[in-house]
Amino acid sequence: MAYHLLYLFAGLFLLVLGGNFLVKGSANLALRMRISPLVVGLTIVAFGTSSPELLVSINAALSGSPDLTMGNVIGSNICNLALVLGVAAIIRPIEVNSDSIKIDWPMTMGSSVLLYFLVREGLLKSFEGVLFITLLIGYTAFVIVKSRKENNKISREDYKESSKYSSRKLLYKDIVLIILGCFGLYYGSDWFVEAGKHLALHFGVSERVIGITVLALGTSLPELVTASIASFKDQTDLALGNLMGSNIFNILSILGITSIIKEIEVSDIFLNVDMIWMLGVTLLILPMMVHQRQIGRYEGFVLLLIYGFYTFKVLSTSVHVL
């Protein structure tokens, strides 16, 4: 018992540390490319903070635990838009960019709806994973090209600041951070999944509950740290972009890549309960974004209550929870 708990926390520590290194290295490289903070959040940072979910999900699928894979992704998406966004909004009200309403939210919602309809037969197939990856490549290319064509949306001061920052960082340091991050994520995910499975067996808790709660919260910590820091620094575009981008990456990249490697079985409870919650929370974000173009502290508090209630429902309906 103590042994598995030690491995769980050690894996979680490596996941957070590795994700942090990967985000720092990737963000520095992105700044060298002169891409806006919103796009950095939607692409590079989102992919970096989603890397723990990717490796945990692949590891879980290959080890014969599809409920951990699906629970990790769906739970992380709910966690991102309820817990993490709620905390970020309470720290500092989040200003909403018009592109977030017109492009990023529809892509986030569309990905969620597409996933729901594709897995209604109980299986996410390899060719559907290829479809997800294709959509992700197209979306990423679109937002990067759009950003570079609209340089007027980014102030010269931001570019000067990013240039000064990136000039102090040598390229090899960024590459070392990325490599260290990958190692941390690989070993962290391995320890985290194995410990999570053993603890589930020990307590008689289903793999779905472990995936929805422990794994989802653990692998969402990079998003929580990134969004909180961005809010403290008044870079709310980066915070909101990171969270919506992370949800898009979770579905299109993580489930896409994982299903290509091994088709993912989806149990009925995910379809009838957890995915409905994911769709509901994503839908709820839209009126919050549209209203005064700001997600304020009141909305943040509401989101935290929703996440707390959802977690309580998941735990209370698990018959074998102690």
pLDDT at residue 320, rounded to an integer: 46
pLDDT at residue 316, rounded to an integer: 80
pLDDT at residue 134, rounded to an integer: 96
pLDDT at residue 166, rounded to an integer: 47
Closest CA to 56 of 12, 20, 112: 12
pLDDT at residue 195, rounded to an integer: 81
pLDDT at residue 108, rounded to an integer: 94
Task: Flag whether 214 is in a domain.
Answer: yes
Task: Flag whether 321 is in a domain.
Answer: no
Task: Flag whether 6 is in a domain.
Answer: yes
CATH number of the domain at 224, please.
1.20.1420.30
pLDDT at residue 274, rounded to an integer: 92
Task: Flag whether 136 is in a domain.
Answer: yes
Residues lower than pLDDT 50 in the chain: 152-154, 157, 159, 161, 164-166, 169, 320-322
pLDDT at residue 165, rounded to an integer: 47
Domain carrying residue 8: 2-316
Task: Flag whether 252 is in a domain.
Answer: yes
- Give the C-alpha separation, 65 to 50, whole Å: 19
Total number of domains constituting the chain? 1
Task: Flag whether 322 is in a domain.
Answer: no
pLDDT at residue 154, rounded to an integer: 47
pLDDT at residue 135, rounded to an integer: 95
pLDDT at residue 41, rounded to an integer: 60
